[in-house]
Amino acid sequence: MSDQFQPGRPIVLRGGTVLPMDASKSVLRDTDVLVVGDKIEAVGPNLSVPEGTAEIDATGGLVMPGMIDTHRHMWQTAMRGYGADWTLTQYFVFYYLQHGKSFRPEDIYAGNLLSAIEALDAGVTTTVDWSHNNHTTQHADAAVDALEAVPGRFVFAYGNIQGGAWEWATTPEFRDFVERRMHRGDMLGFQLAFDVTGDPAFPEKAAFEVARDLGANVTTHAGVWGATNDDGIRLMYDNGFMTPGNVYVHAATLSDDSYQRIAATGGSVSVSTESEQSCGQGYPPTWVLRKHNVPVSLSMDTSVWWSGDLFSAMRATLGADRSREHLEAHKNGDTVTHSHLRADQVVEYATRGGAAALGRDDLGQLAPGTKADVVLIKNDSSPVMFPLLNPYGHVAFQAQRGDVHTVLVDGKVVKSDGKLVGIDLGAARSAIESTVEYLQATLGEEAWAAGMNPDIPETKVLDNPYTYTDYRSSSTHGN
Ligand SMILES: [Zn+2]
């Protein structure tokens, strides 16, 4: 990194194809984006810029707002890829019942640090840390320390799977943590993260009251097959806790009645398509959310399976939605001739949708006065960067994280020319190495290997009437 991007120096991205994510989903060819301080100053062709402005050549590239991930268990990045073959049941057993408690504050720190860095690298400028392994407030302190060490925008969603929300949310330690650490500035927001089990006694009420008292929104895994269902939604509704700003994660197995309650109360759904596809919370729900006009944002859930890459989320979401439409039509002997969900809509989910979910109208778009969280997708050595005919389609189906050339957060360059700027990846690597070493030693070799390699159920190969040994001799060519 040269002196090119000195703090305070304006920056202009010149000549890109700009997707400002305005209401009409414009595509602006050959357009400049000028950043002054922490804000977008102007978007337009051939902008005249203040003297001394740093220039970034965006020709041949796509300029869009930074992406927003509304649900990510960042601490689990310490075990990246470990659970690739898990179901949700295996995930619950591993973290909730067996090994979540083994995580020390420094392990939470290590996972969060790597996850936060990874987000910036992929052009995800805002991430909600759905931090649900805070079995002490020291764990939460470590999580926030990591978020503060990385120049991204985050929302710390405090949770704790090791206890009921009505227990941890009502402690003096929790209140003290909120007062000490959650100042809810521009770069670090705050939510409460807990699930509503459907217990008719509704013990979660106490935690909702704490959230209300603190003026914090609640994010909750809702409509998760075998875990949360319509009962939770009904209890929240009947008790007056389905407030605007609530984020319902997954919401994959709910009735129309529950979707209507979400839509009517101003909530939104964080869809984690890749997660829903592998784990089994339910079918990725955009195909039904669309019908109820429920606002959607996207999320990656956890790197114990997937990476923090919203290109992947956009692609998977389009595929899942269209698959379902075709499947439903075929059941009735019908043919889908026109797709409902479009590429520009998933790009909107990944940007403005996330901003709306977080109540941040200054994020998720490139307009004068909005925050300068900007992504330039450009890769001159890639055969996949041209022709650039359908920019939204290009973002959703063609681009990938390796094409993220430049990233700005709050007007600061955090990735330039494909490389992270001012990030100590070595420190993150050694923190992760000691966590992995510690976890392996704590679990023991056998449990570690068993956890990563779940048993495969037996598959019976079906009888095949075409399998017979004299096929060759019975063919017309044989004799
Ligand atoms: Zn989750």
Q: What is the pLDDT along the chain (479 residues), one digit of tens a residue?
A: 456 888 889 999 999 999 999 999 999 999 999 999 999 999 999 999 999 999 999 999 999 999 999 999 999 999 999 999 999 999 999 999 999 999 999 999 999 999 999 999 999 999 999 999 999 999 999 999 999 999 999 999 999 999 999 999 999 999 999 999 999 889 999 999 999 999 999 999 999 999 999 999 999 999 999 999 999 999 999 999 999 999 999 999 999 999 999 999 999 999 999 999 999 999 999 999 999 999 999 999 999 999 999 999 999 999 999 999 999 999 999 999 999 999 999 999 999 999 999 999 999 999 999 999 999 999 999 999 999 999 999 999 999 999 999 999 999 999 999 999 999 999 999 999 999 999 999 999 999 999 999 999 999 888 888 876 666 665 555 44
Q: How far is the CA of 478 from the centre of ligand 1 (A)?
A: 60
Q: Of the candidates 417, 424, 403, 422, which has an alpha carbon nearest to the alpha carbon of residue 123?
A: 403
Q: How far is the CA of 224 from the centre of ligand 1 (A)?
A: 10
Using DSSP bridges, classify how beta strands 374-377 and 404-409 pair: parallel, antiparallel or unpaired.
antiparallel
Q: How far is the CA of 223 from the centre of ligand 1 (A)?
A: 12
Q: How far is the CA of 165 from the centre of ligand 1 (A)?
A: 16
**Residue 201, helix vs strand vs coil:** coil
Q: How far is the CA of 132 from the centre of ligand 1 (A)?
A: 9
Task: Find the angle CA(172)-CA(129)-CA(224) to the nearest 5 degrees.
Answer: 95
For the chain, the residue count is: 479
Q: How far is the CA of 228 from the centre of ligand 1 (A)?
A: 12
pTM of the model: 0.96
Q: Of the candidates 82, 135, 74, which has an alpha carbon nearest to the alpha carbon of residue 109?
A: 74
Q: What is the CA radius of gyration of the chain?
A: 24
Q: How far is the CA of 152 from the centre of ligand 1 (A)?
A: 21
Q: How far is the CA of 122 from the centre of ligand 1 (A)?
A: 20
